[in-house]
Amino acid sequence: MVKILELARARRSVRSFDGRELTEEDRAALRAFADSLENPYGIPVSFRFLDARQQSLGCPVVVGTDCFLGGKIERVPHCEEAFGYALEKLVLYACSRGIGTTWIGGTMDRGAFERAMALEENEIMPCVTPLGYPAAKMSLRESMMRKGARADSREPFETLFFRDDFLCALQPDEAGLLYEPLECVRLAPSAVNRQPWRALVCGKLVHFYKKASKGFVSAAAGDLQKVDLGIALCHFELCAGECGLAPRFVLKDPGLPCPDGFSYIASYEIA
Ligand SMILES: Cc1cc2nc3c(=O)[nH]c(=O)nc-3n(C[C@H](O)[C@H](O)[C@H](O)COP(=O)(O)O)c2cc1C
């Protein structure tokens, strides 16, 4: 099995596909995986395969596939984090099978996708992803989008992660067994590559916070940066599990002082 950190390093958003349909085997494997997905919040997420051509779904940034996967969840507290966690597990699984994905929360005909998902009043569909096999060459639009979002770069480790309080940066060589799980968080995808996750290590507890930017909250999609945090929790938990740290999810704000614009999301206790 490929290690989660290697998968996190290998994954990138794929917007240019080679035109081949998903094989029956890959489709069935993704379906079974989606049906088995759980998340630490215990809020069910339901997934549907969609066909952009048959269902007239517009997603102008994607070329070379008609296959999409949409997800929806009840609109309750923490639904965005739960959604982010669940769909990212599927994204990593797809990547391990050579299947390309891209989180799409903005650049699509949202109304058409929501109708195809049969979204109910009390439900939300934060994002969808295309599914298919990556093309050998990226479309010009995709290369330009990647440059615009500086999609190949990430913030340095010591600007994202802290020890004891937010004044003390955690250097990579001080992180010990937490290095790989935190590095895995650092590499995660986020809306417009904004990387809003911050983590504070206090003894055996790792507290996750969201550093909010403007423009990521809407009635239709919810808070896309909370989705980003759900993705970060997924990367942390999977990698910490592989490293033998037995991460235990904890939802209890420690009430520690934090910079303006930061809000508590969740914690993990490690062995
Ligand atoms: C919650 C979320 C929403 C996103 N929405 C879009 C989108 O609407 N359109 C798009 O082309 N990419 C979207 N992305 C992809 C990001 O732009 C991409 O993950 C980021 O630039 C980093 O690039 P990478 O995924 O190749 O590492 C989204 C990513 C996340 C996590």
Q: Is residue 146 assigned to a domain?
A: no
**Centroid of ligand 1 to alpha carbon of 103 (angstroms):** 5
Range of the domain at 226: 157-269
Residue-level pLDDT at 268 = 98
Query: Can you give the CATH number for the domain in which 112 is found?
Result: 3.40.109.10
Q: Please determine, for residue 2, whether its predicted confidence score (pLDDT) is greater than 90.
A: no
Residue-level pLDDT at 158 = 98
Q: Which of 141, 174, 200 is the last residue of a domain?
A: 141
224 with 107, same domain?
Answer: no
Residue-level pLDDT at 55 = 97
**Centroid of ligand 1 to alpha carbon of 223 (angstroms):** 14
At 104, is the secondary structure helix, strand, or coil? Answer: strand
Residue-level pLDDT at 131 = 98
The residue type of 183 is: E
**Centroid of ligand 1 to alpha carbon of 254 (angstroms):** 31
Model-level pTM? 0.98
Q: Is residue 218 assigned to a domain?
A: yes
> Cα separation of 39 and 50, whole Å?
23
Comparing 11 with 149, which gets the higher pLDDT? 11
Residue-level pLDDT at 75 = 98
Q: Which of 87, 106, 141 is the last residue of a domain?
A: 141
- Measured from CB, residues less than 6 Å from any atom of ligand 1 are 12-13, 61, 102-107, 127, 145, 149, 151, 189-193, 224, 227-228, 231
Contact 54, 45 (CB under 8 A): no
136 with 205, same domain?
Answer: no
| Residues 45-77: tens digit of each pLDDT | 999 999 999 999 999 999 999 999 999 999 999
137 with 84, same domain?
Answer: yes
**Centroid of ligand 1 to alpha carbon of 207 (angstroms):** 24
Q: Which of 141, 175, 200 is the last residue of a domain?
A: 141
33 with 127, same domain?
Answer: yes
Q: Is residue 147 assigned to a domain?
A: no
Closest ligand 1 atom, CA of 187?
A: 27
Closest ligand 1 atom, CA of 12?
A: 26
> Could you tell me the sign of the dihedral formed by the alpha carbons of 201, 205, 207, 208, in that order?
positive
Query: Can you give the CATH number for the domain in which 232 is found?
Result: 3.40.109.30
Q: Is residue 148 assigned to a domain?
A: no
> Cα separation of 98 and 128, whole Å?
18
Mutate to test the pocket of ligand 1, among 193, 195, 216, 229 (most ligand atoms within 8 A of CB): 193
Mutate to test the pocket of ligand 1, among 13, 109, 139, 184 (most ligand atoms within 8 A of CB): 13
Q: Please determine, for residue 118, whether its predicted confidence score (pLDDT) is greater than 80.
A: yes
Closest ligand 1 atom, CA of 15?
A: 11
**Centroid of ligand 1 to alpha carbon of 2 (angstroms):** 23
| Residues 83-105: tens digit of each pLDDT | 999 999 999 999 999 999 999 99
Closest ligand 1 atom, CA of 11?
A: 27
32 with 61, same domain?
Answer: yes
Mutate to test the pocket of ligand 1, among 62, 83, 103, 213 (most ligand atoms within 8 A of CB): 103
> Cα separation of 204 and 26, whole Å?
39
Residue-level pLDDT at 86 = 98
Q: 200 phi and psi, to 5 degrees?
A: -120, 120
Residue-level pLDDT at 104 = 98
Total number of domains constituting the chain? 2
From the list 237, 238, 259, the residue with the least C-alpha distance to 250 is: 237
Mutate to test the pocket of ligand 1, among 190, 223, 225 (most ligand atoms within 8 A of CB): 190
> Cα separation of 20 and 143, whole Å?
21
> Cα separation of 90 and 26, whole Å?
12
Closest ligand 1 atom, CA of 108?
A: 8
